Amino acid sequence: MVEEEWYESTRMVPTKHRKRKRRKVHLHTSPFIRYFIRQSIEGGRVSANRKSFETNRMDDICNVLKEFSETRSDNIIDLFKEYSKSKKDNGLYASAMSDLDSEYPKAESGRPFLPEENKGFVKLFNEQQFRPRTAILKVWFEYPTNMFFQPIPAKDKITFTNKEGNKETGTKIRFRNGFCSEVLTSVDIQEIVKAGGRIIRILDGIVYEENFKTPPYKDYILILRDLRNKYKREGNIVGSNCMKLLGNSLYGKSIQKDITTSRHLWSEATLKVNFDSHVKSYPKVNETQYIVEKKKNLTVYLLNLHD
């Protein structure tokens, strides 16, 4: 178990900022806050499950797929192929972003989680009573030790052997039972409890007191959905894939990493005059010009964001 004294030294709000109170912790213009929010995005749920298992749940899945398919086969691969042709299948991102039950917190209603709220919030989560509030929180939680398939995988930084046979250190998404520690949205936290897990403690995060009444992207997503279905019926694969890409891009834009470099097309003379420690690379594109990538001045970058 992580020591409380150690965690207090790594809280989301640095001590010097808490004392000076120079800026609010929940500001989404802060690169630090945006990095914290990106940590709550959980992907790779399919690739995390590498082995094949037999389960009677497969019959239930097949029965659900048959509702949207004319295929009577019990072969799940055939059913998934048929379902993918159905107008009901328009991507999980699109369905989540247009669903009236989806939660879109208002950024201006955000505030830092307070340590004294831990006991009350844990009780609300474990009783599935946290809504209608939303939050992004660093939590300790526990899955049942006999659980086969967890709704939320864990991100582990491990050293492994890559395809080339070399040692590599990186983040891997894996399913595991027992104790876990993750940055999660309140929606995912509630899914853990629904699956039989238990929230132990909330350490840090952002709490949003108000949500949008309707999904802000709903109309746009529904237009893309209708166009994708139209292109599917017409056999226009390019048009269908473009509509899917636009929908997925809208989802991904909200978690895009900060761009901390700029690119310029400079002549050799301009490069010599402006060359400094911020120049990251300068590949030559022809006899007289270079594409120069420069690191942004972090101090100026932060000041501009907070103006």
User: Running along the chain, 307 residues long, what does each successive block of 10 average in pLDDT?
Assistant: 41 43 52 79 51 55 64 57 49 55 80 93 93 90 77 73 82 76 87 87 92 80 86 90 82 70 90 89 90 76 47
Strands (E), 131-212: 134-143, 154-161, 167-174, 178-185, 198-208
pLDDT of the residue at 139: 93
Asked if 275 and 264 touch (Cβ cutoff 8 Å), the reply is no
Interior CA angle at 207 toward 202 and 213, to 5°?
Answer: 135
Q: Which amino acid is at 13?
A: V
- Token output for 183: 């940055």
- Provide φ and ψ at 82, rounded to 5°: -70, -40
Interior CA angle at 290 toward 284 and 295, to 5°?
Answer: 115
Comparing CA positions, the residue from 199, 4, 185, 218 lying closest to residue 110 is 185
Q: How do strand 198-208 and strand 110-112 relate by DSSP bridges?
A: antiparallel
